[in-house]
Chain A
Amino acid sequence: MIRYLVRVVAANLRRAPSLYLLTIVGVALGVASVLTVQILNQSALAAFTGSVQAVSGEADLSVLGRTPTLPDSLYPAVLADPDVAGAWALSRTSVTLADRPDYFLDAVGVDFFAPIRIPFVTSRTGGPAVGATLANPAAVLATPGWTAVSPELATELDLAVGDTFTVTSGVRRARLKVGALVDFRRLTPLAGTRLIVLDLAQAQALLGEPGRIHQIDVRAVAGTELDALAGRLRETLGPGVDVLSPEQRTQRAEGLLAAFRLNLTALSLISVFVGLFLVYSATQASLVRRRAEFGLLRSLGATPRQVFAVIAVEVALLGALGVALGLPLGYWAARVNVEVVSATLTNLYLLDAIERLYVPRALFALAAAIGIGGAVAGALLPALDMSRRDTKTLLAAFTLHERLGSAALPLAGSGAALLAATGLWYVVGGHDWRGAGFVLAIALLAALPLGTPLLVQRLAALVRITDFGWRYSLRSLGVRLQTTAFAIAALGIAVSMLVGITLMIGSFRRTLEVWVNSSLRADVYITTPSWRGRSTEATLDSALAAALAALPGVRAVDRLRGFPGYTGERRIALAGVEMGIPYDDSHLPLLAGERTSALAAVHERGAVLISEPLARKTGLGLGDSLPLSVPTGERRFVVAGVYYDYSSEGGTVILSLPTLNAAFGAGPVNSIALYLAPGADAEATVDAIRARYPDTPLLLRSNRTLRAEVFTIFEQTFAITRMLQGMALLIAVTGITLTLLVLAHERLSELALYRALGAGTRQVFGIFVAEGIGMGALGLVLGGAGGMLLAAILILVINRAYFGWTIQVSVPLAALAWQAASLLAAAVAASLYPAFRASRTTAAELARDDV
């Protein structure tokens, strides 16, 4: 049988390459979707893990602040613990290149004279990393700005040892001098290249503050119970710190990214699901074409099981080819999208940017398993069907799939039952569970194909045949359910996804527009380029802040100081605000609380406002008290209001600047918002400030520019989503082609009859194109309905549960109409080739069966 298989596959590949090709494409696209998403997910984590490992690879535990920095007086306390074998103080600063404000480097300050190993290399291309030493170690202190950089960075910036480059952190500029090359990839392959290392003293002096560090890495004595040590250190060091193992730190990053990753994974699985349909169609197409062959095999004594095995192995082979194509495709798509995903990570999650793709081998295995397994799964039904048919049916000319026709009603019934049961479950108690939205979505996407046969059947039956045109085509679709329903269902799912996500994104964007309109009221926003990296480090000095406030034409000034903090174990963003305008003039959109009195409570009585995601995730509301980790322990603040916020899914808290400073210690502000006098021009003011402070690294944005930036970030966040939408749709549209090819073969005699009765080639062509459009239209109908439900689930359930924000539903009609038109156009395009093939049927085909 195997030898037979090999010959047959080769022969069929020559005879009908398009069907094989489409199976392969279906698998490839599905595999690519999954792979792309998983690569990006893994790379996002790897970027974080890489920086943890590069900097803290030897550490068993890291002491991290719950406030932005730690006093270095904690370091001796760590050293003194009897189970500590070694400890290293570190500072971590995100800096930007002065001449490339969007180019961020992670500047790590280390104690070069502590027993740590730095993987110095002697040249850009290599040389020893172990045991390499510095010719002049004292230079790390003596040479102003002495910094070690990675060989890759040196190459990229064209720096050699001895060269200088300027970086900024907040409004500070620092001239750094390349003192040595250091290659952290020798220690961990995940390490980024944008890590620069300088002595802690230089780091504090040039980029930080004396006495403040960010992290203490700890190595424990062998055999130490790490949990106990961590607990003891927490006790010794006080409530302002976390003591975490590298694994726990990675887990935290995973936790932060969980919602983001889950959503992408879910989307990619939809692509696989749609891909399964494609494989189904392609297999069926291929099998229908070879029906006579299987009939012959059976008549020669092959058992159904043997026939099934032939088909299964063949499809698995095709699946393997699809995987082979899908792997590079997925990798390529990941590469194309890495930048936008990376931007999302830094913008929304305050995590490390992805510098390189990380592809663990296991991912390839996963993709291969999904591809081959998916192909076989997709082929299961047609293969079983084909292997079980009796020999006579296989050899007959006019056949009609009746089984699905009679099963349409029960199938639809089970779909409806599934939906009803899931809906009931959700209402009764499921809504308390965070993942409930996904259950709803899965039920919806499962019910959709179940209902498809009935819908197609009933719609087709409704049509009265009055011409040999689209009505006739639609009727034909209805009777070829087993072939057409699958393609339509696949299309329906893809369209559901398209419509659902379009509605979600459209609504989100509209909501964001409204929010931005009320939140961004000032005319000019001033911060430093660091804002785009780790915003905490975008520090403006107070003299500059005062000078800017005193500029002519400035009516009022808001000041903001922000940094990450903790409420309980939840990482949140804290914002200390000093308002320059009356409370009544604020347009801060509140979900709970009255604006003027809430602002008064914040600014006069030390209360706080919390963002909607935080309120949803903590269950806190008006009048409750919010615990915040402060350097001295925990302090509680009265919640005076809940405001709409879409800047952070983790949650944000607004305090008054004096309240923040009192609780966390004074510090520089991070951004200033200027309100201009009536008639003053924002862009002109921006230019004026730029001219006045040519050497200060400032990030100046007019209201208009900032808004544009907000939406750029927004679009970046959803870029990958849109790509997955596109992939699913591509798969689905390919399904149309396949289905029509199947039909062209299944209905050979029928087409010949039309030709015998005088139908011209154009008419047959037209019938097929109309069938393609019909499938597209049915897919649209199904998908439109499914998409609305999906959008409702996404907006009202999943977004609330995972991100915690309210999205006002808004229907982007133009976008949807455009998508519908493109889908139909794609359906037409997809049916051209099958229609051409069908139109070449001659009336003589009819006679051939007669002979």
Chain B
Amino acid sequence: MLAFDRVSKVYDTFASGSRYALRDVTFATSMGRTIAIVGRSGSGKSTLLHLAAGIDVPTTGSVGLFGRPLERESETARTRLRRDAVGLVFQFFYLLPHLSLHDNVALPALIAGERGAAVDARIRQLLARVGLEDRARDPVQHLSGGEMQRVAIARALLRRPRLLLADEPTGNLDDANGRAVMDLLLALVAEEGTTLLYVTHSREFAALADETWEIHSGVLDTG
């Protein structure tokens, strides 16, 4: 469902000329798998996620999502694909401080123009699942980091994406909270049948996935 075929991404930098963020990456995932990618800062893992989400396009090679080569799709088409089929979880949560828990979770639906009882029920269900149903109307500002990431996960899963991409989801949490979030995330994708690709620098959390890949200096090792 997500397939990289000889994908390279080159950034032109002012200081050092062209720099390979990804070099000749090839892989494919199948439905419902969980995959962890381990790598240090600057190894190219975020670039990989951006390409997978259609936020960016490869310099060479092809990124196939659900069988569609993203590099041939328009920006609008990629945005629509992302909206409908990809969920994103970020290291810094990216919750909007002026919205309530409920509204933050609802944001993808709002953007997609979905509303109604079904959406509300789904939000309630997800908030209950992440253990925050009582605080649905609270502002998010006063949540703890772990709670924020749980809200973000609920937001990412709202529209039942087939692919969930998580960029260092525990990177901003302490170990206990990180573990709890990781457990919740894995449990949820298992329940929803969602494919999960997550980036982490923690070997411990990486080990929780079905597969663990490593990335070094833009080169992916899927073995």
Contact of A758 with B108 in the complex, beta carbons under 8 Å: yes
| Mask of B65-96 contacts with A, CB within 8 angstroms, 1/0 | 00000000001100110111010101110101
Q: How far is the CA of A755 from the CA of B96 in the complex (A)?
A: 14
Task: Give the contacting residue for A756; candidates B46, B53, B99, B106; CB below 8 A.
Answer: B53
Residues of A within 8 A of B55 (CB): 755-756, 842-844, 847
Residues in A with CB closer than 8 Å to B155 are: 757
Q: In the assembly, what is the distance between CA of A475 and CA of B50, in Å?
A: 30
CB 8 Å contact bits of A739-780 with B (1 = contact, 0 = none): 000000000011001111111110100000000000000000
The distance in angstroms between the C-alpha atoms of A849 and B82, with both chains bound, is: 21
Asked if B111 is at the interface (CB within 8 A of a chain A CB), the reply is yes
Inter-chain contact A468/B111, CB cutoff 8 Å = yes
- Closest Cβ of chain B to A744, distance in Å, is 16
If the complex has contacts A759-B79, A760-B76, A847-B55, are A468 and B110 also in contact, measured as CB distance less than 8 A?
yes
Beyond A400-B97, A400-B98, A842-B55, whether A755 also contacts B79 by CB under 8 A is yes
Closest to B119 in A: A466
* Contact, CB under 8 Å: A759 / B103: no
The reply to whether the CB of B207 lies closer than 8 angstroms to some CB of chain A is no
Q: Which of chain A's residues have a CB closer than 8 A to the CB of B112?
A: 758
- Shortest beta-carbon distance from A134 to chain B in Å: 83
Whether A476 lies near B83 (C-beta < 8 A) is: no
Residue in B closest to A758 when the chains form the complex, CB atoms: B83
A465-B99 contact given A757-B111, A760-B79, A850-B92, CB 8 Å threshold: yes
Specify the chain B residue showing the minimal Cβ separation from A760. B79
Look across to chain B and name the residue whose beta carbon is closest to the beta carbon of A849. B92
- Chain A residues, CB < 8 A from B167: 850
Complex Cα distance, B54 from A756, in Å, reads: 9
Find out whether the CB atom of A850 lies under 8 angstroms from the CB atom of B46. Answer: yes
Chain B minimum-CB-distance residue to A464: B103
User: How many angstroms from the CA of A242 to the CA of B56 in the assembled complex?
Assistant: 88
Name the interface residues of B154-168: CB closer than 8 Å to any CB of A: 155, 167
> Could you tell me the distance between the alpha carbons of A818 and B53 in the complex, rounded to whole angstroms?
47
Chain A contacts of B83 at CB under 8 A? 757-759
- Is A759 a contact of B111 with CB atoms below 8 Å? yes
Q: Complex formed: what's the CA distance from A467 to B106 in Å? A: 9
Residue A846 is within 8 A (CB to CB) of chain B in the complex = yes
Complex contact B82–A753 (CB within 8 A):
no
A846 CA / B56 CA spacing, docked (Å): 12
A-B contact count (CB 8 A): 84
User: Is A851's beta carbon under 8 Å from chain B?
Assistant: yes
Interface size on A, residues (CB 8 A): 31
A848 to chain B, nearest CB (A): 10
Chain A nearest CB, measured from B113 CB (Å): 7
Question: How far apart are the CA atoms of A671 and B204 in the complex, in Å?
Answer: 105
For residue B107, CB closer than 8 A to chain A, the reply is yes
Chain A residues whose C-beta falls within 8 Å of the C-beta of B80 in the assembled complex: 758, 760
- Please provide the chain A residues from 450 to 508 with a CB less than 8 Å away from any CB of chain B in the complex: 465-468, 472, 475-476, 478-479
Q: Which of A400, A472, A753, A844 contacts B56 (CB 8 A)?
A: A844
CB pair A750–B84 under 8 Å, yes or no, is no
> Which residues of A are found within 8 Å of B75, using beta-carbon distances?
761
* A749 contact set on B, CB distance < 8 A: 94
Whether the Cβ atoms of B111 and A763 lie closer than 8 Å is: yes
B178-217 interface bits toward A, Cβ cutoff 8 Å, 1 = contact, 0 = none: 0000000000000000000000000000000000000000
Does B115 lie at the interface of the complex (its beta carbon under 8 Å from any beta carbon of A)? yes
Cα distance, A346 to B141, chains bound together (Å): 66
**Most chain A Cβ neighbours within 10 Å, of B55, B75, B80, B103:** B55
A272 to B71: give the CA distance in the assembly, Å. 53
* B50 contact set on A, CB distance < 8 A: 843-844, 847
Evaluate contact between A850 and B91: CB separation under 8 angstroms. yes
Query: CA A255 – CA B83 in complex, angstroms?
Result: 71
Nearest-CB residue, chain A, relative to B85 = A758
Say whether A851 contacts B113, CB under 8 Å.
no
A113 within 8 A of B: no
User: A488 CB to closest chain B CB, in angstroms?
Assistant: 17
Are B76 and A756 touching (Cβ within 8 A)? no
The residues of B that contact A754 with a CB separation of less than 8 Å are 107, 111
Are B110 and A850 closer than 8 Å at their CB atoms? no
Q: Is A4 located at the chain interface by the 8 A CB criterion?
A: no
Supposing A476-B98, A847-B55 touch, asked if A465 and B90 sit within 8 A by C-beta, the answer is no
Q: Which 10 A-B pairs have the closest CB atoms?
A: A758-B83, A479-B98, A468-B110, A843-B55, A759-B111, A468-B111, A758-B82, A753-B94, A400-B97, A757-B108
Report A's interface with B, CB cutoff 8 A: 398, 400, 465-468, 472, 475-476, 478-479, 749-750, 753-761, 763, 842-844, 846-847, 849-851
User: Can you list 18 contacts pairing A with B, beta carbon distance less than 8 Å?
Assistant: A400-B97, A465-B99, A465-B106, A466-B110, A467-B115, A468-B113, A479-B98, A749-B94, A756-B82, A758-B84, A758-B86, A760-B80, A844-B56, A847-B50, A849-B92, A850-B46, A850-B90, A850-B167
